[in-house]
C-alpha cells in the first residue's frame, strides 16, 4: 500500500525546504518532502551564503533577487533568527578600465530600483579599511548581505514540520510513474507514495532526477572551493564579492569555478589561488591561519537563469533549480506556493520556464 499525499517535494535543500514551508503556511495540502541524504548534504550545506543582488544580470533577474532579499526580514519574523545581515555588498575592481563597466551596471540596475554606487578608491577604503590600496574602485549596494545557511534550512524545516509537513531523509527516489493522473513514487528503501502534484528540487542531481520522468534539464555542475580562516576580530563589515565574515569571526573566502562533475574534493592549486586572491583583496589576511577548506557543487542552468515553474507536457509536475538558491529561497518558496495553491504567481515566471530551452 502506498501512502497518499497532495504534494511530494523531492529534495530538502534550501529550495525544497523553502517551498515546503511556504506551502505549509496555508495548511491546505498534505505535503511530504523526500531527500536521499540529510537536508544540508547537498549544495545548501556547502555554500558562501551571500544574499547577493547588485551584480545579478539581466536587471529583471536582479529585481527578482532584490525582492527575495526584501523578504528576509519578514521571513525571520516568521521562522526565527537565520542570522540574516544586510551588510551592503562591495565588488572591488583593480583597473580604471573597469569603471566604465561599473557605471553601466549601475545604470541598468537603476531601471529596476537596485541602488548601486560606483566608489572611488578613497570611498572604498573609508568604508572598508582592510581592503588593499591596490583597489582602484568598487561597486557598492546597500541591499546585499549574507545569512547562516545552516540555520536557514533548519528553521524552514522546523516551521514546515510545525505545520504538519512530513519529511523522509536518507530516502532516494528511484522511480516515478504517472498512473490515472497520480504520480507513483518509489524509493530505494522500498517505500511507495502517491501524489497529485510533484516538485523536483534536486539541486545538482536535477538531470538524473528529471530523467525519471524522461525530462531533460539543461544544468551544469560547477565546483566551488572555499577557505575558512580562524576567527578574526572585526576584519570586514561588508559582504565582499569573494568573501564574507561570519558572526563567529571566521572569514569564508572563495569564488572558484570548475566543471568537474560531482567531485567535492578540494585541490591544492585552487586553495593556493584562493589564498592569493584573499591577500590581493585584504593584505592582512596573509597573517591569518586557514582552519578548513571545503567544496560544494553549484547547479547552474545553461543560460545561468533560474528554472522555475511547471514542467511542460507533464501535468502537475513542477521544477525549481538554480544557482543563488540561498539569495532566492524566500521568493522561490513564495512563488511556488502561489503556483501550486492558486495556479498563478504574483511575478510572471515565463522567462524562467523550462520551456525556454526548446526554442
Ligand X SMILES: Cc1cc2nc3c(=O)[nH]c(=O)nc-3n(C[C@H](O)[C@H](O)[C@H](O)COP(=O)(O)OP(=O)(O)OC[C@H]3O[C@@H](n4cnc5c(N)ncnc54)[C@H](O)[C@@H]3O)c2cc1C
Q: Is 271 in the site for ligand X (CB under 6 A)?
A: no
Pairing relationship of beta strands 192-200 and 219-229 according to DSSP bridges? unpaired
- d(CA 68, CA 254) in angstroms, rounded, equals 23
Q: Which of 5, 33, 48, 92 is in the footprint of ligand X by CB under 6 A?
A: 48
**Neighbouring residues of 12: CB distance < 8 A, sequence distance ≥ 6:** 20, 33, 34, 35, 39, 153, 157, 167, 169, 201
Instruction: Compare residues 326 and 349 and give the one whose CB is closer to ligand X.
Output: 326
Q: Is 331 in the site for ligand X (CB under 6 A)?
A: no
Q: Which of 167, 193, 205, 318 is in the footprint of ligand X by CB under 6 A?
A: 205
Give me 338's grid cell: 502561489
- d(CA 320, CA 328) in angstroms, rounded, equals 11
The CA–CA distances, whole Å, from 328 to 31, 210, 272, 284, 288 equal: 22, 21, 31, 33, 32
Closest separation in Å from C-beta 158 to ligand X: 17
Select the span of 19-27, 44-52, 69-77, 309-317 touching ligand X (CB under 6 A).
44-52
Q: Is 16 in the site for ligand X (CB under 6 A)?
A: yes
Q: Which of 62, 89, 92, 203 is in the footprint of ligand X by CB under 6 A?
A: 203
Closest separation in Å from C-beta 35 to ligand X: 4
Instruction: Compare residues 35 and 310 and give the one whose CB is closer to ligand X.
Output: 35
Instruction: Compare residues 64 and 102 and give the one whose CB is closer to ligand X.
Output: 64
Angle at 107 between CA 105 and CA 108, to 5 degrees: 65
- d(CA 52, CA 4) in angstroms, rounded, equals 39
Q: Which of 141, 327, 334, 336 is in the footprint of ligand X by CB under 6 A?
A: 327
Closest separation in Å from C-beta 352 to ligand X: 14
Select the span of 4-12, 120-128, 130-138, 268-276 touching ligand X (CB under 6 A).
4-12
- d(CA 307, CA 320) in angstroms, rounded, equals 6
Q: Which of 62, 137, 298, 318 is in the footprint of ligand X by CB under 6 A?
A: 298
β-bridge partners, 182:
179
Q: Which of residues 140-199 bind ligand X (CB under 6 A)?
A: 172-173
β-bridge partners, 318:
199, 310
Structural element, H or E, at residue 220: strand 219-229
Q: Which of 8, 42, 185, 242 is in the footprint of ligand X by CB under 6 A?
A: 42
CA–chain centroid gap for 298, Å, is 9
Q: Is 61 in the site for ligand X (CB under 6 A)?
A: no
Question: Which DSSP symbol is given to 312?
Answer: T
Instruction: Compare residues 81 and 262 and give the one whose CB is closer to ligand X.
Output: 262
Are 7 and 23 within 8 A, CB to CB?
yes
Instruction: Compare residues 120 and 309 and give the one whose CB is closer to ligand X.
Output: 309
Q: Which residues here bind ligand X, judged by CB under 6 A?
A: 10-16, 34-37, 41-44, 46-50, 52, 172-173, 201-205, 209, 224, 226, 296-298, 321-327
Amino acid at each position: 500500500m502506498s501512502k497518499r499525499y497532495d504534494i511530494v517535494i523531492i529534495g530538502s535543500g534550501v529550495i525544497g525546504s523553502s517551498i515546503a514551508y511556504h506551502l505549509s503556511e496555508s495548511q491546505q495540502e498534505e505535503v511530504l518532502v523526500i531527500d536521499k541524504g540529510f537536508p544540508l548534504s547537498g549544495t545548501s550545506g556547502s555554500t558562501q551564503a551571500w544574499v547577493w543582488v547588485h551584480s545579478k544580470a539581466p536587471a529583471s533577474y536582479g529585481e527578482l533577487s532584490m525582492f527575495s532579499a526584501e523578504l528576509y526580514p519578514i521571513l525571520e519574523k516568521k521562522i526565527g533568527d537565520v542570522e540574516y545581515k544586510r551588510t551592503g555588498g562591495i565588488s572591488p575592481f583593480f583597473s580604471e578600465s573597469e569603471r566604465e563597466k561599473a557605471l553601466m551596471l549601475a545604470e541598468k540596475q537603476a531601471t529596476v530600483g537596485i541602488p548601486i554606487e560606483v566608489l572611488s578608491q578613497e570611498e572604498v577604503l573609508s568604508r572598508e579599511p582592510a581592503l588593499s590600496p591596490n583597489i582602484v574602485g568598487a561597486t557598492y549596494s546597500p541591499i546585499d548581505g549574507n545569512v547562516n545557511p545552516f540555520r536557514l534550512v533548519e528553521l524552514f524545516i522546523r516551521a514546515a514540520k510545525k505545520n504538519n509537513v512530513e519529511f523522509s531523509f536518507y530516502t532516494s527516489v528511484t522511480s516515478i510513474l504517472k498512473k490515472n493522473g497520480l504520480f507513483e513514487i518509489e524509493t530505494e528503501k522500498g517505500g511507495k507514495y502517491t501524489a497529485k502534484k510533484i516538485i523536483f528540487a534536486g539541486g545538482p542531481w536535477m538531470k538524473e532526477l528529471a530523467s525519471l520522468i524522461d525530462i531533460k534539464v539543461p544544468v551544469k555542475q560547477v565546483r566551488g572551493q572555499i577557505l575558512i580562516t580562524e576567527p578574526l576580530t572585526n576584519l570586514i563589515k561588508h559582504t565582499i564579492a569573494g568573501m564574507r565574515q561570519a558572526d563567529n569571526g571566521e572569514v569564508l573566502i572563495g569564488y572558484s569555478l570548475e566543471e568537474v562533475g560531482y567531485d567535492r574534493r578540494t585541490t591544492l592549486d585552487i586553495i593556493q589561488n584562493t589564498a592569493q586572491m584573499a591577500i590581493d583583496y585584504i593584505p592582512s589576511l596573509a597573517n591569518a591561519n586557514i582552519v578548513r577548506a571545503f567544496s560544494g557543487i553549484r547547479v547552474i542552468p545553461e543560460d545561468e537563469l533560474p528554472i522555475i515553474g511547471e514542467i511542460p507536457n507533464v501535468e502537475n509536475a513542477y521544477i525549481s533549480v538554480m544557482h543563488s538558491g540561498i539569495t532566492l529561497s524566500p521568493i522561490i518558496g513564495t512563488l511556488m506556493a502561489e503556483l501550486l495553491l492558486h495556479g498563478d504567481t504574483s511575478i510572471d515566471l515565463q522567462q524562467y520556464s523550462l520551456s525556454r530551452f526548446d526554442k
